[in-house]
Amino acid sequence: MLLFPGKIIMDYSHAAGRVGSRFLAELKKSKRLLAIRCRTCNRVYIPPRLTCKTCFHNMEDWIELDGRGTLLTYTTVYYGEPVLDREAPTTYGIIRLDGADTGLVHFLNEVKQQDLRVGLRLEPVFKNERNGNILDIKYFRPIKSG
């Protein structure tokens, strides 16, 4: 088999849809984290989705979460990516926000590698100037006690 190494770099646009657009608009406008609840099985999704993946019903019950949550798992990447506006190493986590049944993947910061642990309580840090995308949340950091 003959292989030719290379990369394809292309610009693209992605339609967030009705549900995703509302979620992103609230992030941009007011730093609100909206989730959506299924009326049938009561699962709460963030990021929100139109259809419940458990019972396949359409969802319309919006709820606001305060952004605090628990770290479910994490990983640190030790190489840089040109599309990210941050230098390596970069730590990603899956955070289950209080009141949600799903995890939200995002960056972690303001925490030393040795202090990372499953169960760590986190809160979001928002950018001052927001653009209506998930990166309007700059990162999640440990909740300061006291």
What is the residue extent of each domain of the chain? 17-142
| φ and ψ at residue 138, rounded to 5 degrees | -65, -45
pLDDT at 7: 78
In this structure, are residues 33 and 27 in contact, taking their beta carbons and an 8 Å threshold?
yes
C-alpha 111/C-alpha 83 separation (Å) is 23
Comparing C-alpha atoms, which of 35, 39, 40, 37 is closest to residue 20? 35
Quick one: what percent of the chain has pLDDT higher than 70? 99
Structure token pair of residue 138? 């700059």
Q: Can you give the pTM of this predicted structure?
A: 0.87
Residue 146: pLDDT band with limits 50, 70, 90: low
In this structure, are residues 134 and 24 in contact, taking their beta carbons and an 8 Å threshold?
yes
Residues 83-139: tens digit of each pLDDT: 777 888 999 999 999 999 999 999 999 999 999 999 999 999 999 999 999 999 999
Distance between first and last Cα of the chain: 62
